[in-house]
Amino acid sequence: MVARDGLHNLTLARLAAEAGYSKGTIYNHFTCREDLLVALSTDSAKRQIRYYQAIADLPWDGVRALYGLMLAYMRHAETAPELFESSIAALANAVGALASPERLERRDVIDRQMGQVIGSVVERTKREGAFKHPALLPEAALDALRSAVLGYTVTHLLSRRFQWGDVTTDGNRLVVAASVMHGLGWPRIEASAASSVQRVVDDLIPAEEKAGGERLVHG
């Protein structure tokens, strides 16, 4: 429904009609539209943590693993755009104010687990002496990295309408990733190494990965 009609047209009434359930049945599972958005965002986060853990477990150094996490975030947005868009919408304070506490707690649990995986990769880069910035602490650099990757993903991968100039952006993903990493204190890896990381991520998250693989009413 999101892919066909857009996220703004997603309502519980339409969901009931399309799924063949009564409104009462749908409302037994979701208290409101915002509750559904949080459930979709939780499904998105579950997929992400699965990819992140697989990348963190690879026999890479910390820097390559951090590149892998960045590229996996972007790849997930491409292969499951409806879930990714729902996860962005669910971050709004207005959504959190209306969604059920139980849904929010389930999402928070996944977010904490995801943070632990990402944090372990950053700690690895520190142990290996790969992080060097004259002013930023690793925690601040990680927060800046997250913001930069989120911004690039939303403006360049989720929407094709964003453009500040005539530059074609489709082939710039690795360049952007390397530039952001280097500017925030991590070393820039060679183009061949970055391409190798991208291939691993592409194999890990196949293009046919689509939303709707799990039954949210049970999640």
Write down all domains in the chain, each with its CATH number in brackets. Answer: 31-208 (1.10.357.10)
pLDDT digits (tens, 9 = 90+) for 107-139: 999 999 999 999 999 999 999 999 999 999 999
Q: What is the pLDDT of residues 36-88, one digit of tens each?
A: 999 999 999 999 999 999 999 999 999 999 999 999 999 999 999 999 999 99
Q: What is the pLDDT of residue 165?
A: 52
For 183-210, give the DSSP string.
HTTSPPPPHHHHHHHHHHHHHHS-TT--
pLDDT value at residue 26: 93
Cα angle 18, 20, 21 (rounded to 5 degrees) comes to: 115
**Which candidate, 174, 130, 134, 135, places its Cα nearest to that of 152?**
174
CB 32 within 8 A of CB 68: no
Query: Does residue 69 contact residue 145 with C-beta atoms inside 8 Å?
Result: no
What is the share, in percent, of the chain residues with pLDDT greater than 90?
Answer: 78
**Cβ–Cβ under 8 Å, residues 36 and 12:** yes
pLDDT in tens, 187-209: 999 989 999 999 999 999 988 65
pLDDT of residue 40: 95
Greater confidence, 160 or 87? Answer: 87
CA distance 184 to 104: 32
Residue 154 has pLDDT above 50, yes or no: yes
Quick one: pLDDT band at residue 159, thresholds 50, 70, 90? Answer: confident
The total of other beta-carbon atoms located within 10 Å of residue 59's CB is 6
d(CA 124, CA 63): 8
Angstrom distances, CA of residue 85 to CA of 44, 102, 111: 9, 21, 17
Q: What is the mean pLDDT of the chain?
A: 89
For residue 172, name the pLDDT band (cuts at 50, 70, 90).
confident
Q: What percent of the chain has pLDDT over 70?
A: 89
Over residues 18-27, the mean pLDDT reads: 92
Q: pTM of the predicted model, to two decimals?
A: 0.88
CA distance 68 to 204: 10
Per-residue confidence (pLDDT) for residue 216, from 0 to 100: 37
Which is higher by pLDDT, 142 or 161?
142
CB atoms within 10 A of CB 39: 23
Q: Kindly indicate the confidence band of residue 155, based on its pLDDT and cuts at 50, 70 and 90.
A: confident
Structure tokens that stand for 31 in this block:
């208290």
How far is 206 from 125, CA to CA, in rounded Å? Answer: 27
pLDDT of residue 207: 83
